[in-house]
Amino acid sequence: MDHATQFRDLMMMYNKITENCFNSCVYDMNQRKLNNSEAMCTHNCFWKHLQSNNRLMIIFSELQAKKQENSLREQEIQMQKIVASQNQSEPSPT
Domains in the chain, number: 1
Domain assignment present for 26:
yes
**Which pLDDT does position 80 carry in this prediction?**
92
Q: Crossing angle, helix 36-89 and helix 3-25, to 10 degrees?
A: 140
Domain assignment present for 24:
yes
At 58, which amino acid appears?
I
Domain assignment present for 37:
yes
Domain assignment present for 27:
yes
**Which pLDDT does position 1 carry in this prediction?**
67
Mean pLDDT for each 10-residue chunk of the chain (94 residues)? 86 94 94 95 96 93 94 94 85 64
**Which pLDDT does position 78 carry in this prediction?**
93
pTM above 0.95, yes or no: no
Which residues form the domain of 31? Answer: 15-79
CATH number for the domain including 39? 1.10.287.810
Domain assignment present for 63:
yes
